[in-house]
Chains A and B, each alone.
Chain A
Amino acid sequence: MIGKLKRFGWLMLASMLALIAIGTIAIRSAGLARTETVFHGMWVNNVATAAIGLGFYLMLAFADYRKYLGLLSIPSYALAVLCLVAVLLFGDTVYGGKRWLWFFQPSEISKLCIIVLLASLYGNSAGRSWRFGFRGFLLAGMLVGLPLLLILAEPDLGTALTLVPAVTLMLLVAGIWRKGLVTIITLAGLMGLMVLGAVYEAERPGVSAERRERILKYVPLKAHQVRRVRVFLFPEEDQQGAGYNLRQAKISIGSGGFSGKGLGKAETNHLKYLPQAISMNDFIFCVWAEETGFVGSVALLTLFGLLLFACCHAAFVTDDMQGRLLAFGVSTLVFAHVYINIAMSIGIVPITGLPLPFISSGRTFLITTMCGLGIVQSVTIHREKEIQ
């Protein structure tokens, strides 16, 4: 046990706890601004959830991942897929999407399950050289594709968007059908640009309705997604309608200034200009940034940087491919969330419903992320080849 504590990644734990503390403060601010009193004590719930999450974290950290990974990966994956099917059949519809099953969001859990499954499959491929070829890629494609399609059907584009880079990176690191993969990434990038270009062409001022209709027919996006891309491309238009959220997010962050307005004094939030329904979740960064300013934003980014550094460190020091894939997969997932969430609040990327890890209020996501980091902590602790 003492050996484990010696190898324990303190930085990883400390930065995570610091982020959770920031999240609790931000949730308190966002909650107090709401009319409904039920949200005023939301930060207490967050502390409780974090405590539960910490329990899972320590459990997964001190247990040897190499032992439970093979045991858990396939059943957890199967369970996740079942839940994803169930949510489509029985889920509650909230804000235009079926994401809730009973008390949790299966899509959040499924992301971790997919990463764990891929890590356990491709991290331990001795004697199965076919996995490094096209067939291996095909297998991964099917394993990821099934839950991904289910998630997209909810629809939850944001979750899907964070999963793809995590999986792609894992496959790259694992060396699965590398040349083909690089080609596909390039093509996907090009297609993304084309979609953006097509929406621009269709939505730019002065385009006739028929032409717009004709172009958008070929764009594989739903109407509300097209609207978000439009807001991203033309943020000055329609500031009261579809562009309202982005504008308020930017006003909130921008008016925070260099040193912020002070904790609990985020006016945009308190006066409810910031959309209340998502101020605690997808727009939580705005609350933090308004109250603490650029200083607070940088502090937040630094903490995320330290956390990601610790994860990467774990990936580099371990000799075990499974561990490395896990560390990279989980950290990429966290990074994708952080980047997309903050970037969308300042208009760098189109608005996508996506929480900010450890900061946003959300039980399923917090516990899942802490579990993921717990496994990475386990990789750090159990980095010797043999367990003694």
Chain B
Amino acid sequence: MTVRALCLAPGDDVAILLTAVAAGERVHLSGGDGHLMSRTEIPRNHKIALRDLPNGALVQRDGLIIGQSTEVIARGSHVHVHNLRSLRARPANEATK
């Protein structure tokens, strides 16, 4: 079965998986013939990193910044609350570096 991920906007750092994947599966990206390998298990409708992201990177989804990475994220990894956090409603002393 082909695993597909939706790329919502050009320049996005993440895509949305239309089916769950195990680590090491080939994921086809919508809107072209691009693909990548999943590095981790990722549930359906969750986000996969389209590129290597350093710690503290602003993460773009559907053309908008949805938060900041809290660790180094490798291409193909699951991007979620364990490695991404909101930039909003954060006390000044822990806001964006």
Do A and B pair up? The answer is no
